[in-house]
């Protein structure tokens, strides 16, 4: 198969769809890979590395889109990219179509087959192509939180790990799923006192088993959260109710009881955030202060560590990209129910039920659409 990797054009997006290592793997399997010039540069990956891996370099996006049967990207295609898609072409990337009617309509019109990373499933019921980014954001949260606690950044001047004779900071994590667990790992490693709050007793059990007595676990109730936020130097929001907006667990009343100069890192901001006072920010202006509390609410945290994120994403996407290339769209999707769950749009039909419901559009099952 001829596979194309365009340079990402979304603002401040430095990740790239395929690493040179992934390219080498696909070339080894008999496929051709066309990479846009400088596509990997934001992740520290040079054109020379891609050429050494067996890729051809294309001068611009027009050549990549026109000469590829499958496009592998990171972020959803922007209007200029959507206009380049054609019937029969495979698009494999994050799409997030439910809140985006314009993109959905453009992809329907394109006639392309669009497989979204975020709806590919796994045997255990997880979302394997979302997990690596939650791991990155979770691990990044204590790091950015520690920085925000510094005086210069508006924080209360507390060192996360303390020093002998001076207590460590109190880190409270709301949500003990993927990102919450990874946040706890790093916060503990930095020497902080860590408490994780979750509403799922199984999640609390798993955390207690994993961390032993190193991490305190608390069952999520309004009263428990109201009590614990008062003690927090760093509060990390990492809750998720799949498919829904994040619950507002920290109200403005609770915010007013937090210590001046304490910090909120609301990882769940991409789902609206779990604090009433959270609003989306960007890497260019990541923080603001409300009620004396520093808020960090960047919606694409993994972009800050593009190189790590690119490799983490490729580890998860490569097996699926290879299956699509080896077996073709229909072969790969019919052989793997979990990859089939990723098909959002095919030849003008919406094949992902929640996307169809979100926009009041007709839905056709992936099986039926592929059989046409
Ligand atoms: N900002 C970013 O750049 C970025 C990057 C990656 C992921 N995320 C977001 O981080 C959030 C968490 O993702 P995840 O993969 O860790 O999810 P997850 O499903 O693995 O974990 C979420 C946890 O929240 C818990 N929860 C739900 N409601 C709760 C409540 N009322 N009280 C306490 N706990 C509650 C669940 O029981 C679960 O354990 C998501 O919104 C995800 O989209 C953001």
Determine the distance separating the centroid of ligand 1 and the alpha carbon of 274, expressed in angstroms.
9
Mean pLDDT of the residues in the chain? 96
pLDDT-wise least confident of 9-13, 66-70, 356-360: 9-13
199 lines ligand 1 (CB under 6 A): yes
177 CB under 6 A from ligand 1? yes
- Mean pLDDT calculated for residue range 128-138: 96
CA 306 to chain CA centroid, nearest Å: 12
Asked if residues 219 and 204 have their Cβ atoms less than 8 Å apart, the reply is: yes
- Choosing from 185, 221, 238, 295 the residue with most ligand 1 atoms within 8 A of its CB, the one to mutate for a pocket test is 238
Identify the residue whose C-alpha is closest to ligand 1 atom 24: 239
**pLDDT-derived band of residue 241, with 50, 70 and 90 as boundaries?**
confident
pLDDT(244) > 80: no
Atom of ligand 1 nearest to the CA of 241: 27
pTM reported for the whole predicted model: 0.92
136 compared with 124, residue with greater pLDDT: 136
Question: Residue 341's closest CA among 125, 171, 17, 143?
Answer: 125
- Please determine, for residue 112, whether its predicted confidence score (pLDDT) is greater than 70: yes
Q: Where are the beta strands (DSSP E) in the chain?
A: 2-5, 32-36, 56-58, 70-72, 90-93, 113-116, 170-174, 193-198, 215-219, 234-237, 263-266, 287-290, 293-296, 343-346, 349-350
The residue whose C-alpha atom lies closest to atom 37 belonging to ligand 1 is 200
**Which of 118, 134, 257 has the alpha carbon at shortest distance from 185?**
134
Atom of ligand 1 nearest to the CA of 197: 33
pLDDT tens-digit profile of 315-368?
999 999 999 999 999 999 999 999 999 999 999 999 999 999 989 999 999 999
Among all residues, which ones are annotated catalytic? Answer: 96, 270
Query: Residue 145 has what pLDDT?
Result: 98
* CA 240 – ligand 1 centroid, Å: 3
């Amino acid at each position: 198969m001829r596979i194309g990797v365009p340079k990402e054009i979304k603002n401040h997006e430095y990740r790239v769809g395929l690493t040179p290592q992934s390219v080498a793997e696909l070339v080894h399997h008999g496929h051709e890979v066309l990479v846009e010039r400088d596509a990997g540069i934001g992740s520290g990956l040079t054109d020379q590395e891609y050429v050494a891996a067996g890729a051809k370099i294309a001068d611009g996006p027009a050549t990549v889109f026109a000469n590829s049967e499958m496009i592998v990207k990171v972020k959803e295609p922007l209007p200029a990219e959507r206009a380049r898609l054609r019937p029969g072409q495979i698009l494999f990337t994050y799409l997030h179509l439910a809140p985006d009617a314009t993109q959905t309509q453009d992809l329907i019109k394109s006639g392309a087959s669009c497989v979204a990373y975020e709806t590919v499933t796994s045997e255990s019921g997880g979302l394997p192509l979302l997990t690596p980014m939650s791991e990155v954001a979770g691990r990044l949260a204590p790091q950015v939180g520690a920085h925000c606690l510094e005086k210069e950044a508006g924080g209360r001047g507390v060192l996360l790990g303390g020093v002998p004779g001076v207590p460590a900071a109190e880190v409270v994590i709301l949500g003990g799923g993927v990102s919450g667990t990874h946040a706890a790992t790093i916060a503990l490693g930095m020497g902080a006192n860590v408490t994780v709050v979750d509403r799922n007793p199984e999640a609390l059990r798993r955390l207690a088993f994993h961390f032993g007595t190193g991490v305190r676990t608390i069952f999520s109730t309004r009263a428990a959260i109201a009590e614990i936020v008062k003690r927090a130097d760093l509060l990390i929001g990492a809750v998720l109710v799949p498919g829904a907006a994040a619950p507002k667990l920290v109200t403005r009343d609770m915010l007013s009881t937090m210590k001046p100069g304490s910090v909120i890192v609301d990882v769940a901001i991409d789902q609206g955030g779990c604090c009433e006072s959270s609003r989306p920010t960007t890497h260019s202006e990541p923080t603001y202060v409300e009620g004396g509390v520093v808020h960090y609410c960047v919606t694409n945290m993994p972009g800050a560590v593009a190189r790590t994120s690119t490799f983490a994403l490729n580890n998860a996407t490569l097996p699926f990209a290879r299956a699509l290339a080896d077996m073709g769209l229909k072969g790969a999707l019919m052989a793997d129910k979990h990859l089939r769950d990723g098909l959002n749009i095919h030849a003008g039909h919406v094949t992902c039920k929640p996307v169809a419901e979100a926009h009041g559009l007709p839905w056709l099952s992936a099986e039926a659409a592929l059989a046409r």
